[in-house]
Amino acid sequence: MGSSLPPAAAADLVNSYARRVADDVELVLDGTTARPGPDDTVVLRRGEHHLTAVPTVSGSGDVRRLVARFPRADLTDGTWKVRLRTPDGPLPLGCRLLVQGERPVVLLWGDEAAPSRPSRARPRPDQDPAPRQPAASRLLRRLRRSRRLRRLARLGSSARRSS
């Protein structure tokens, strides 16, 4: 059984979201512990394509809110990996962005999709298992069989007596 808890991430994925705002896609990462500097950028990567945006940061202390905007016209359909590029190297934020045409954008949990598993084989409607007889029919068949056996036993004992 799976877990509905978010995976370990550098942001609070429950309160983070992505949305369309006018001609842009806004990515809001709430509760991030990353401390973005003035040269840091949020990077969306899908295959060889990548987009960058300078995030605005709000909040104080250890927990902050990161907001980055990307032009919707630059985002092709598919799943985009979300990273924070720092001078020390890229930092995965533990989420992905799903873009599907005119549908709303979706912030997905996890750096990678979980591997898919084939479903267990189940009989198809055209391959129904042999129908079972109702319990009453099975019981009657057993009673008839036991009556036949008793009759045969009586016939056998009467045949032995007469000889």
Say which CATH architecture domain 17-109 belongs to. Answer: Sandwich (2.60)
pLDDT over 70 percentage in the chain = 80
Q: For residue 100, what pLDDT is reported? A: 93
At residue 79, the pLDDT reads 95
Domain extents in the chain:
17-109, 135-162
**Percent of the chain residues topping a pLDDT of 90:** 30
- The pLDDT assigned to 57 comes to 82
Least confident of 28-37, 72-81, 125-134, 141-150: 125-134
Residues 6 or more apart in contact with residue 161 via CB below 8 angstroms = none
Average pLDDT estimate for 2-9: 64
- Residue 43 has what pLDDT? 92
For every residue of 90-135, DSSP letters joined together read EEEEEEEEEE-TTSPPEEEESSSPPPP-PPPP---GGGPPPPPPPH
Tokens at residue 42, please? 């949020």
pLDDT band with cut points at 50, 70 and 90 for residue 11: confident
- Indicate the average pLDDT of the chain: 81
- Tens of pLDDT, residues 80-138: 999 988 888 888 888 899 999 989 999 998 888 777 777 777 766 665 566 677 777 77
pTM for this entry: 0.64
